[in-house]
Structure 1
Amino acid sequence: MRFLKMDPFLVGLVCTILLATIIPCHGAAVPVFHWLSIGLISLMFFLQGARLSRAAVVEGLVAWRLHIIILCCTFVLFPVIGLAAHAMFPGLLLPDVWLGILFLCCLPSTVQSSIAFTSIAGGNVPAAVCAATASNVLGIFITPVLVGLVLRQHGAVGGNPLDIVYQLLLPFVLGQLVQPWLGDWAHRNKTLLSFSDRGSVLVVVYTAFSDAVMQGLWHKLPPAELGMIALADTALLATVLIITILGSRAVGVPLKDEIAIVFCGSKKTLASGVPMANVLFPPATVGIIVLPLMMYHQIQLFVCAMLARRFARQTREENKLAEQAV
Structure 2
Amino acid sequence: MKNQDSKIRKIWTHPITEYLKSQWFFFCLAILIVIARFAPNFARDGGLIRGQYSIGYGCVAWIFLQSGLGMKSKSLMANMLNWRAHTTILILSFLITSSIVYGFCCAVKAAKNPKIDDWVLIGLILTATCPTTVASNVIMTTDAGGNDLLCVCEVFIGNLLGAFITPALVQMFTGQAPFQYGNPATGNGIGALYGRVMKQVGLSVFVPLFVGQVIQNVFPKYTAYYMGFLKKYHIKIGSYMLLLIIFSSFSTAFYQNSFASVSHVCIIFICFFNLGIYIFFTGLSYLCARPWFIIKLFPHEPIDGKSTRLYRYSYSLFRPFYYSKEDAICIMFCGPAKTAALGVSLITSQYADKKEHLGKLLVPLVLYQAEQVMTASLFVSLFKRWLRKDDPSNGSESSSTSGNEEPDLEKNISMETGHNRTVPSKTIAFQDSK
Q: TM-score range by the shorter chain?
A: 0.7 to 0.9
- CA contact 1:241–1:262 (8 Å) conserved in 2: yes
Give SS of 1:290's match: helix
Larger radius of gyration: 2
Structure 1 equivalent of residue 339 of structure 2: 269
Matched, 1:229 2:293: no
Residue 36 of structure 2 corresponds to residue 16 of structure 1: yes
Partner of residue 166 from structure 2, selected from 136, 143, 151: 143
Residue pairs, 1:1-326, within 5 angstroms: 5-6=25-26, 8=28, 11-13=31-33, 15-19=35-39, 62-90=81-109, 91=112, 93-153=116-176, 154=179, 155-158=181-184, 160-169=189-198, 209-212=254-257, 218=260, 220-247=261-288, 248-250=290-292, 251-252=294-295, 253=322, 254-281=324-351, 282-320=354-392
Letter in 2 for 1:293: L
Q: Match of 1:133, as an amino acid?
A: F
2:26 aligned counterpart, secondary structure: coil
Q: Distance in 2 between matches of 1:45 and 1:145?
A: 29
Q: Structure 1 counterpart of 2:192, which letter?
A: D
Question: Residue 259 of structure 1 aligns to which amino acid in structure 2?
Answer: I
Whether contact under 8 Å (2:246, 2:370) holds in the other structure is: no
Counterpart of 1:149 in structure 2: which amino acid? M
TM-score by length of 2: 0.56
Cα distance, 1:127 vs. partner? 2.0
Distance change in 2, residues 1:208/1:124 (3 Å): closer
SS across alignment from 2:341: coil
Paired residue type of 2:127? L
> How far apart, in 2, do the equivalents of 1:46 and 1:122 lie?
21
1:222 Cα deviation from its structure 2 partner: 2.0
> 1:110 aligns to what SS in structure 2?
coil
1:232 to 1:122, Cα distance in 2 relative to 1, 3 A: same
Give the Cα–Cα distance (whole angstroms) in 2 for the partners of residues 113 and 141 of structure 1: 22
Provide the TM-score with structure 1 as the length reference.
0.72
Would you say the 8 A contact 1:67–1:131 is kept in 2?
Answer: yes
Q: What letter corresponds to residue 267 of structure 1 in structure 2? A: A
The CA distance in 1 between the partners of 2:85 and 2:23, in whole Å, is 26
Compared CA separation, residues 40 and 246, structure 1 to 2 (3 A) = same
Q: Which has the higher helix share?
A: 1
- The CA deviation at 1:322 is 11
Q: Distance in 1 between matches of 2:244 and 2:140?
A: 24
> 1: CA distance between counterparts of 2:378 and 2:131?
22
Change (3 A) 1:110 1:87: same
The one-letter code matched in structure 2 to 1:318 is: D
Cα deviation, residue 179, structure 1: 7.8
Matched-pair contact (CA < 8 Å) for 2:160–2:198: no
| Unpaired segments ≥5 residues, structure 2 | 1-18, 216-222, 227-235, 296-321, 396-434
Identity %: 20
Q: Could you tell me how far apart the structure 2 residues matched to 1:284 and 1:245 are?
A: 39
* Whole-angstrom distance in 1 between the partners of 2:329 and 2:206: 34
Kindly state the Cα deviation for residue 150 of structure 1 after the two structures are TM-superposed.
3.0
Task: Provide the alpha-carbon RMSD of the alignment.
Answer: 4.4
Aligned length: 305
Structure 1 portions without partners, runs of 5+: 25-31
Amino acid at match of 2:279: A
Amino acid at match of 1:255: K
Q: CA deviation at 1:125?
A: 2.7
Q: Summarize the Cα distance change of 1:166–1:192 in structure 2 as closer, same or farther, 3 Å threshold.
A: farther
